[in-house]
Amino acid sequence: MIKHLTHYLLAIATIVTLTIVTDSLSGARTVHADTDGQSENYDQIYKVAKAKLGTPYSYGATGPSRFDCSGFTQYVYRNGGDQKIARTAQAQYNTTQKVSKANRQKGDLVYFGSSKRSISHVGLYIGNGKMINAQNRGVIVEAVASPWWNAVGYSRP
């Protein structure tokens, strides 16, 4: 009974959070240049990411019905930006253009771990200190600055 109540309360909290964040972000538009100098349309990347909100998490999954963190970011960039990026969070960090926290933009990737050489998680930065990421609760919107994450860097695919 308590387990079901906990799942129910988490689901309600997630829906409320997503509704608030989605309402505050609707209509947001940012375009930035990728490493080749071609414009990537954040709106399309965000649209693909947003469409996957609520999709379940599964270690090693690359979508479209289940994701792990880097499988999610890879999927979003492939389907929203027509861009191929590496498979794992560490490889995505290692092979993309680094940007500082001060210069991060919507559509950049944010990385977490104990250091830049030990990255264990990645999310899609959507502005206002928020990201969309695939984690044990599925694909959700949450704050980059959370007690359970240690942000170690940003990059721009």
> Which residues are part of the catalytic machinery?
69, 121, 133
CB hemisphere CA count around 125 (13 angstroms) = 26
Burial (CB count within 10 angstroms: exposed 0-12, middle 13-18, buried 19+), residue 108? buried
Give the DSSP letter string of 24-35: HHTT---EEE-T
Cα–Cα dist 151/46, whole Å: 21
DSSP three-state, residue 75: helix
Cβ neighbours of 114 (radius 10 Å):
10
Start-to-end CA distance of the chain, whole Å, equals 45
